[in-house]
Amino acid sequence: MEYRKIKDDDDEVQEDNDVASDLESLKGKSHTVASSNIALATLGGYTERTTWKRKGVVTCALTILTSSQAILIVWSKRAGKYEYSVTTANFLVETLKCALSLLALTRIWKNDGVTDDNRLSTTYDEVKVFPIPAALYLFKNLLQYYIFAYVDAPGYQILKNLNIISTGVLYRIILKKKLSEIQWAGFILLCCGCTTAQLNSNSDRVLQTSLPGWIMAIIMALLSGFAGVYTEAIIKKRPSRNINVQNFWLYVFGMAFNAVAIVIQDFDAVANKGFFHGYSFITVLMILNHALSGIAVSMVMKYADNIVKVYSTSVAMLLTAVVSVFLFNFHLSLAFFLGSTVVSVSVYLHSAGKLR
Amino acid sequence: MEYRKIKDDDDEVQEDNDVASDLESLKGKSHTVASSNIALATLGGYTERTTWKRKGVVTCALTILTSSQAILIVWSKRAGKYEYSVTTANFLVETLKCALSLLALTRIWKNDGVTDDNRLSTTYDEVKVFPIPAALYLFKNLLQYYIFAYVDAPGYQILKNLNIISTGVLYRIILKKKLSEIQWAGFILLCCGCTTAQLNSNSDRVLQTSLPGWIMAIIMALLSGFAGVYTEAIIKKRPSRNINVQNFWLYVFGMAFNAVAIVIQDFDAVANKGFFHGYSFITVLMILNHALSGIAVSMVMKYADNIVKVYSTSVAMLLTAVVSVFLFNFHLSLAFFLGSTVVSVSVYLHSAGKLR
């Protein structure tokens, strides 16, 4: 596995420091600290609180951004068909994320000075793994065009919930992190609950998917899960490294691979009608939103993990539906209420089932 | 609460014996028995094994009987409309259960002789609570005629899943037995999973149920849950009392209340066309099946509890659907698969979440 190689190559001592600071947090939690340790323990408690706060903030940000993302999509659909080339929009999203990371970095450099952890320059050993997630996403997006030969669009929406399971499995295998049995039960329920919430009268058609369709859906779920888990592995490999530098390199390769996608998929349209053909105010809003959610995903990977990301985006999907009731006069189905209840229980189980 | 009164009136010492035998079982489980206790502990282990075996057998019997019951109903519907009076069939079910209990008792008297625990004669104190479950069921069945003014039949099938929640709540309040938080999560999921499995394109209509419809559905769920929990309280009140004697008295009152139902609902039909009008071979099979499932329910109440009963009948519902695929060429929906998965996880959580 590639991740093991990263681990083996690791020449940082920072990880040990991180373990030490984790231990401090635990000490702060146990309330059985000898008086000589009180100062350290207090520091530990403080670190723990900040960790939790940061985790909470980035998770909430991701949830809200993902919800508004879905609402923008509904809005843009109501406004009419996509007239612009999706690949150019994706390229701009990556460019904007890159620019925002650089902007954040210049502020940090101004305040803290340039250090080993926040300098932009990198080594081949550090940077060589950064193109992999972008390459995986590109490959997945290309496959997406072929899966529609086997499944219709609503069916694909349902099959995409397989991502939840693939992320859990790859998180376990690649990152070697354990979930308790109760948390696994919660994860299966999350997948069932999200799918239930999306059920409509045509959903049964997905059961008629042919074997090649299923295989492609599973491959795409694995690619998507792998890209997510691999990104977490890269970002967590060097915990002290500034997240904006890590993001910068991720997004530089994202720009490169999306440039390839423009050439492969939309070369004619861009050559004939121009790069920005069909852009509207809502397109700009969507690009802005996608860029911010992308950064939020990176932050969740840095300060929490893929499991939190999956829960956060799933809850966002339900929030979107509730908000749509007010915005677009949506009618919520019985299936939606049942699915939401199952997802809520799943969130509870994930927290109640934490390994001690 | 009526159950407290039963508890207070209790003049048996048997309950203490039962606690002692429970303790023995626990000893057998803990594997930390001093050598002088080995004989007792072995006995305890044996008791525990028999308890588990008996619990397993009655639960499986109930599941199989409930599944075949639903299949008989589908079969009889395919064969045409009900031509007979349902109240007369219910009366015959009670009579048959009564007869079967008596038959079992005569065999026991022959083998073990007549004891305090298996004699048919009873006291006013023992028998006075036995009419209550039958009265509650009669009241619920009468209400059933009125609820259809507010909900259609498929909607009522969906609302009946509220029984799961009401049984759990009343089990906690009346029998004062605790479920762990994980088990409560499982119980909510059982309700959601069963409802999801029954979803079809018309299910959303149930959301338009008016307030009086909801209130009636909740009252009926409470009546049904209360009848079940109260039956368990009666049967468990005197653990050493032979279950066939307890059943006999329950069913005698069942006969009486069903006779009242015949007079209220089907007096004209019975008077004009006769008691057995419209009976067919399948009617006889259904009566036989209902009688056996009724006895299985009593056994589950005696040797397990209402929670096991609810799980058993819910799993039976799913089994019925699977069997129907082969028997009647049913098509299973995506909702059915999702609901079944949620129910399976729920069964797992009920067992994994056991209070230590």
Q: What is the pLDDT of residues B15-45, one digit of tens each?
A: 333 333 333 333 333 333 334 444 444 455 5
Q: Which residues from chain A sit within 8 angstroms of residue B201, using beta carbons? A: 201
Contact: A334, B201; criterion CB under 8 Å: no
Q: Which residue has the higher pLDDT, B161 or B74?
A: B161
- Look up tokens 């190559």; give the residue: A9
Comparing CB atoms, the residue among B335, B345, B348 nearest residue A335 is: B335
Longest Cα–Cα distance of chain A, Å, equals 74
Which residue of chain B is at minimal alpha-carbon distance from A332? B204
Give pLDDT, residue B71: 80
Which of A4-13, A197-206, B79-88, B201-210 bottoms out in mean pLDDT, i.e. has the lowest? A4-13
Structure tokens at A48: 């723990």
Flag whether the ipTM exceeds 0.95: no
Percent of chain A with pLDDT over 90: 54
pLDDT in tens, B112-150: 999 999 999 999 999 999 999 989 988 888 887 788 888
Q: A296 to chain B, minimum CA–CA distance in Å?
A: 31
Which residue of chain A is at minimal alpha-carbon distance from B353? A182
Give pLDDT, residue A8: 33
Percent of chain B with pLDDT over 90: 54
Average pLDDT of the residues in B51-80: 81
Q: A169 to chain B, minimum CA–CA distance in Å?
A: 17
Contact: A349, B206; criterion CB under 8 Å: no
Which of B257, B277, B227 has its CA nearest to residue B98? B257
The full length of chain B comes to 356
Number of domains making up chain A: 1
Give pLDDT, residue A142: 80
Give pLDDT, residue B81: 61
Three state DSSP letters for chain A: CHHHHHHHHCCCCHHHHHHHHHHHHHHHHHCCCCHHHHHHHHHHHHHHHHHHHHHHHHHHHHHHHHHHHHHHHHHHHHHCCCCCCHHHHHHHHHHHHHHHHHHHHHHHHHHHCCCCCCCCCCCHHHHCCCHHHHHHHHHHHHHHHHHCCCCCHHHHHHHCCHHHHHHHHHHHHHCCCCCCHHHHHHHHHHHHHHHHHHCCCCHHHHHHCCHHHHHHHHHHHHHHHHHHHHHHHHHHHCCCCCHHHHHHHHHHHHHHHHHHHHHHHHHHHHHHHCCCCCCCHHHHHHHHHHHHHHHHHHHHHHHCCHHHHHHHHHHHHHHHHHHHHHHHCCCCCHHHHHHHHHHHHHHHHHHHCCCC
Average pLDDT of the residues in A264-270: 89
Give pLDDT, residue B79: 63
Local confidence band at B77 (pLDDT 50, 70, 90 cut-offs): low
Give pLDDT, residue B328: 83
Give pLDDT, residue A328: 83
Which residue of chain A is at minimal alpha-carbon distance from B337? A192
pLDDT in tens, A293-345: 999 999 999 999 999 999 999 999 888 888 888 888 888 999 999 999 999 99
Percent of chain B with pLDDT over 70: 85
Q: Which residues from chain A sit within 8 angstroms of residue B206, using beta carbons? A: 334
Give pLDDT, residue A140: 87
Give pLDDT, residue B281: 87
Chain A positions touching chain B (beta carbons under 8 Å): 158, 181-182, 185, 188-189, 192-193, 195-196, 199, 201, 203-204, 206-207, 331, 333-335, 338-339, 341-342, 345, 348-349, 352-353
How far, in Å, are A71, A277, A281, B6 from residue A75 at the CA level? 6, 19, 12, 63
CA–CA dist B40, B27 (Å, integer): 9
Which of A156-160, A204-208, B57-61, B149-153 bottoms out in mean pLDDT, i.e. has the lowest? B149-153
Residue A126 CB: number of other CB atoms within 10 A? Answer: 19
Contact: A335, B199; criterion CB under 8 Å: yes
Comparing CB atoms, the residue among B207, B338, B349 nearest residue A196 is: B338
CA–CA dist B273, B305 (Å, integer): 42
Average pLDDT of the residues in A340-354: 95
Answer yes or no: is pLDDT of A41 > 60: no
Local confidence band at A104 (pLDDT 50, 70, 90 cut-offs): very high
Give pLDDT, residue B299: 93
Give pLDDT, residue B78: 62
Residue type (1 letter), A282: I
Local confidence band at A77 (pLDDT 50, 70, 90 cut-offs): low
Local confidence band at A80 (pLDDT 50, 70, 90 cut-offs): low
Answer yes or no: is pLDDT of A86 > 60: yes
Q: What mean pLDDT, rounded, does chain A reach? A: 83
Answer yes or no: is pLDDT of B10 > 50: no
Residue span of the structural domain in which A324 resides: 2-352
Q: B312 to chain A, minimum CA–CA distance in Å?
A: 20
Average pLDDT of the residues in A166-172: 95
Give pLDDT, residue A6: 33
Give pLDDT, residue A235: 94
Average pLDDT of the residues in B239-254: 94
